Amino acid sequence: MTEPASLDAARGLLREFPVVDGHNDLPWALREQVRYDLDARDVAQDQHAHLHTDIPRLRAGGVGAQYWSVYVRADLPDAVPATLEQIDCVRRLIARHPRDLHAALTAADMEEARAQGRIASLMGAEGGHSIANSLGVLRGLCGLGVRYMTLTHNDNVDWADSATDEPRAGGLTAFGREVVREMNREGMLVDLSHVAATTMRDALDTTSAPVIFSHSSARAVCDHPRNIPDDVLERLPANGGMAMVTFVPKFVLQAAVDWTAAADDNMRAHGFHPLDTTPEAMKVHRAFEETRPRPVATVATVADHLDHMREAAGVDCLGIGGDYDGTAFTPEGLDDVSGYPRLIAELMDRGWSKADLAKLTWQNAVRVLGAAEDVARDLRATRAASHATIESLDG
């Protein structure tokens, strides 16, 4: 693969406006691979044999802020304890690498980290199952520093429909709308990746703060339910939120969408969860790949999405959410967290200005978090914490 000519310029831009990445599943990978034994996967060292992510490659990739996902699987008997362990993992990572990682709760913290040359470390919860239908638990997660929550993961929750499950609520239930309002009041960003389009629209109708898509691309470019329809992208400028383009090949490249459907069937046939990334599961994946070559997404595939999202939502509503360590496969050239400069170079070659790229990489994400803080400050002055229950609102 030849490196694009603009790569040096891209690296220069990222030194000033580093990448804010919306979604990285390193905590889950550490849980699954080494049960959180941080000595066994020391991310200060090269871990490319095991992980997409380590500090040297984050540095090489020009990453200045990372939303670490505290995702847990929705089929656990109780997601709350597992989510707390994920939060503990992120906090231990930050404490372990004080010269590289900086705990960030606010937009001001992000700027402070950038000024110090450290990587602002934020947390996002992935899936409403992590709050177990409780606004008290939601506030607890916020108190622990979780700054966004994806309303669903791959399965519906009791109060919101997922993009990849059978429609049930038809979007958000009354309790689901109360969850969104309480997130607004807490200053926790409403993340609409993974949710059904009906849920996206209901959330946009309900929220008084900007929303995010922490890792989603454009449905008009690749017709997968995990991607964002144009009518929703077009509502982002009025909302002030942002869509953070994801790299996951099975969402961004149509041939990969089809290939993945077949590969998932194969995983299930061998008794593995399709998202399992343990060595045994990956062996099954690779055997399948030998019989049927995997279509390869590239930097250009992702850039195509960004070009379209820019048309639909405008350059003020874009960001990046790679989903590293949360996906088995990555596009060529964006193989791990060191790849972002290639995407920026590709966009430069397509005529994106430095000012626009600064918005894409850094400025939009900082603005959105700051706006959510402002909304929360106003709401807390006028409204007490909600003690509504799902029973009282959804019957």
Partner 1 sequence: MADLQDELQSLAEPGDLLDTAQTAPLAPQPPPGSPQERARALLADHPVVDGHSGLPWALRDLAWYDLQLGDSGVDTDVLRLREGRVGALLWSLRLPERIEAERAVGATLEQLDLVRSVVAAHPEGLRLARSAGQVIDARNCGRVAVVLGPAGAAALDDSLGILRVLHTLGLRVLTLAGASWAGEAGLTRFGEEVLREMNRLGVLADVSGASDATIARALALSRTPVLCTRSAARSLRAHPDNLSDALLAELGAAKGLCLVPSSPERSGPGVQDVADHLDHVRAIAGPESVGLSGHAPGAGAAPGYPHLIAELLRRGWPETDVTLLTWGNMQRVLRSADFAARAARERRKPSAARISELDPTDA
Q: How near is the Cβ of 37 to partner 1 at its closest, in Å?
A: 5
Nearer to partner 1, 141 or 218 (CB): 141
Report the candidate in 74, 39, 110, 15 with the shortest Cα–Cα distance to residue 364: 110
Binder among 91, 270, 354, 367 for partner 1 (CB under 8 A): 91
23 is catalytic: yes
Which residue in the list 52, 97, 102, 194 is annotated as catalytic? 194
Structure tokens at 373: 């803080």
- Percent helix, percent strand, percent coil in the chain, to nearest 5: 50, 15, 40
Which residue in the list 153, 224, 285, 305 is annotated as catalytic? 153
Containing H/E element for 150? Answer: strand 146-150
Stretch that binds partner 1, among 42-50, 87-95, 149-157, 227-235 (CB under 8 A): 87-95
**Hey, is 211 helix, strand or coil?**
strand
Binder among 8, 37, 205, 265 for partner 1 (CB under 8 A): 37
Q: How near is the Cβ of 22 to partner 1 at its closest, in Å?
A: 23
Contact between 244 and 216 (Cβ < 8 Å)? yes
What's the CA gap between 229 and 225, in Å, rounded? 9
Asked if 38 is part of the footprint of partner 1 (rule: CB under 8 A), the reply reads yes
Structure tokens at 246: 């994801």
Contact between 245 and 309 (Cβ < 8 Å)? yes
Contact between 76 and 361 (Cβ < 8 Å)? no
276 is catalytic: no
Look-up: residue for tokens 């008009």? 220
Contact between 251 and 226 (Cβ < 8 Å)? yes
Beta-ladder partners of 146 = 123
126 is catalytic: yes
Asked if 393 is part of the footprint of partner 1 (rule: CB under 8 A), the reply reads no
Q: How near is the Cβ of 41 to partner 1 at its closest, in Å?
A: 12
Asked if 78 is part of the footprint of partner 1 (rule: CB under 8 A), the reply reads yes
Distant-in-sequence, close-in-space partners of 207: CB < 8 Å, separation ≥ 6: 180, 181, 183, 184, 190, 239
**Hey, is 238 helix, strand or coil?**
helix
- Applying CB under 8 A, the site for partner 1 has a residue count of 31
273 is catalytic: no
Binder among 116, 134, 254, 278 for partner 1 (CB under 8 A): 134
Q: How far apart are the first and last CA of the chain?
A: 58
What's the CA gap between 170 and 159, in Å, rounded? 10
Stretch that binds partner 1, among 18-26, 72-80, 243-251, 263-271 (CB under 8 A): 72-80
391 is catalytic: no
Binder among 7, 9, 12, 36 for partner 1 (CB under 8 A): 36
Residue 394: C-alpha distances to residues 151, 158, 175 (Å): 17, 9, 6
Which residue in the list 126, 182, 276, 325 is annotated as catalytic? 126
Q: What does R_g of the chain's alpha carbons equal in angstroms?
A: 19
Could you give the angle at which helices 107-116 and 364-382 cross, rounded to 10 degrees? 150
Which residue in the list 165, 178, 191, 323 is annotated as catalytic? 323
Q: How near is the Cβ of 165 to partner 1 at its closest, in Å?
A: 23
Nearer to partner 1, 116 or 134 (CB): 134
Binder among 95, 108, 262, 287 for partner 1 (CB under 8 A): 95
Nearer to partner 1, 63 or 146 (CB): 146
**Hey, is 294 helix, strand or coil?**
coil
Contact flags string 140-169 toward partner 1, x per CB under 8 A: x--xx-------------------------
Which residue in the list 21, 23, 100, 346 is annotated as catalytic? 23
Active site amino acids: 23, 25, 126, 153, 194, 215, 323
- Contact residues for partner 1, defined by CB under 8 A: 35-39, 77-78, 80-81, 84-85, 87-89, 91-92, 95, 132, 134, 136-137, 139-140, 143-144, 384-385, 387-389, 392
